[in-house]
Amino acid sequence: MNELINSATVTGTFDGDIYSKTSNQVITELINLIFIKSANKTIWARGNLLFILDIINSDSTPYNNLVIIDILNPKYIMLVTDSVRINGIPVAYGSITYNEITGELNINIDSIPPESMLTITFEVRKRNLEIFNLENTAYINFNNDQMINIMSEVNEDNNDKLYSNTIIIRALSSVCKCKEIENRNQC
């Protein structure tokens, strides 16, 4: 992990004398993970929607005991439970949990090796025929004491989370005619 080291020096004059005071050093560990969320459609009329989560570890050390959490809006969508894959390999049920009522999907990751990329994919299906905008963000929850201590120095409010970007999907009624949409491949 990389470190950010910071200190400050204050210099001033009081009664003609020059004073200088240097603070202590604050060392912050920087997390070298990139977390990107995407989907296979931006306009969704029929079929399942595929979510893709890419996690890139550009660090020289592994990140261990991570939990990916994605809240799938239970009003509009639900997980296709056998669709979860990590690097193309189906995930065992002991590694994921999904709550249909809250929409919370948890994916346990034992380790992301140094200088590597991990890709998680899963499908969701519509719960109804409504037209809606689906906004979705996932996050990584660090489940080990070392990472929690590092993250708490950075941000006390979200001291154990790293958020992905937010994606927006426009869901159309399944009876929509794709010929009305400019790019039919996105249906």
Q: CA-to-CA distance for 8 and 187, rounded, in angstroms?
A: 56
Task: Say if residues 23 and 54 touch (Cβ distance below 8 Å).
Answer: no
**CATH top-level class for 32-186?**
mainly beta
* pTM (2 d.p.): 0.74
The mean pLDDT value of the chain amounts to: 82
Tell me whether strands 132-136 and 17-22 are parallel, antiparallel or unpaired. Answer: unpaired
Amino acid, single-letter form, for residue 175:
V
62-to-38, 57, 100, 110, 118 alpha-carbon distances in Å: 24, 8, 32, 10, 12
Q: What is the pLDDT of residues 63-116, one digit of tens each?
A: 888 999 999 999 999 999 899 999 999 998 779 999 999 999 999 999 999 999
